[in-house]
Structure 1
Amino acid sequence: MSLANPLWGAPRIHGELKMIGIDIAQSTVAKYMVKRRRPPSQSWKTFICNHTDGIAACDFLVVPTIGFKLLFAFIVMAHGRRKLLHVGVTAHPTAEWTAQQLREAFPWDQTPESLIRDNDAIYGAVFKNRLKSMSIRDGPTAPRSPWQNGYVERLIGSIRRECLDHIIIRDESHLRRVLRAYAEYYNSARTHLGLEKNSPVPRKPQAHGRLVSRPHLGGLHYEYARIG
């Protein structure tokens, strides 16, 4: 109990033991508790799990075009249901442009409590002021710690493996259309292990009716459902 519950003290553990029929003195519990060098604190992973419904995350995805031009896609997702909230595309990202993407991603009545981001220089004063004006807590990750923004990093990996690795991007407008089509597939059709094999926008299991398939991204992926 001491290992699994680092926030518990001897009285709490003693009470739990009493509830399951183990009658020992509280002083004995204190004697055998795990000794820690510093007061217990939440790990980053624990913090994410405890606050997931109020957290969003963002990051940039760099995409080359057929003419070897680099485009930048700004990705915003919600942790709670892994929903892809917003995709912005530009050839010349600036702090002002990135701050405007926040306004488009989060209407006033749908802002998250916190936004996790990396320490890229583009997230400067303009971006931070926009977060403050929208009452969103700024959550920069530690330097060289991409795992602290693991949800959006995994999403970017899925976008590459399931979409961009199979499509040659012509220009900015083409990339925007492709990413918006992938966002529709990702949110409404693609199943996730972390969501008990459901999609960000929940799908209801169907056992009866005629089986039909709906193509996404020009047939790169399919969604299956029953009708009738």
Structure 2
Amino acid sequence: MSETAHPPSLTPPLVNYLPPQEPYLSVLYADEHIALVDKPTGLLSVPGKDPDHWDCLEYRAQQQLGDARIVHRLDMDTSGIMVLAMNADSHRNLGRQFEKRKTQKSYVARVWGHLAEEAGNVDLPLICDWPNRPKQMVCFERGKPAKTDWQLLSRDATSSLVRLIPHTGRSHQLRVHMLSLGHVILGDRFYATGEALASADRLMLHAERLGLIHPARGEWMDFESPCPFA
């Protein structure tokens, strides 16, 4: 088969959206061109389709920082660094950096089981699993290219801590790529089951580092957010 399918989704819809309130907005860096913020797990990046899901990182940044504009997104369950543009020129510049893959990103994840190797990579094309959306799946015929490097950081009795470096930005890329290795991310309500789901009260995925070119000054800048579950 050319596609790696998943069984019908049992993931419940997002009904009781209760985003964390403290801290309301964690700002790592801000100037007149960009703002770097640390998104908590459980907070949407942008408003949801349901009118009750209006509270999000974009709204909070606009309330506290002014004309803050979303450039990229993290899944609601993922925590970590995001950059926002503070004006139209910066928004265009940063958008091009993400499009041309000029930025550098790394994540930390805790996955179920013990990885046999110290490092490796996953190069598997991904496509939306439409009957079970927003899930994604591997599809060699119609999927878009997706590549992730991984490095083992540590192990405990039942899990492994890994650093993940995506070279593409597909939806759920890190989740599905680790699943393809047989090591689902702990607490993943979309892809984990049994002990791997029950062993964590959140998705154990955190955007720890973001490197980019400052849109006005042209200098390279690196930002980091310590992993809360490492």
- TM surpasses 0.5: no
Greater C-alpha Rg: 1
Pick the structure with more helix per residue.
1
Give the alignment's TM-score, normalised by structure 1.
0.26
Pick the structure with more strand per residue.
2
Give the alignment's TM-score, normalised by structure 2.
0.26
Structure with higher RCO (Cα < 8 A, 6+ apart): 2
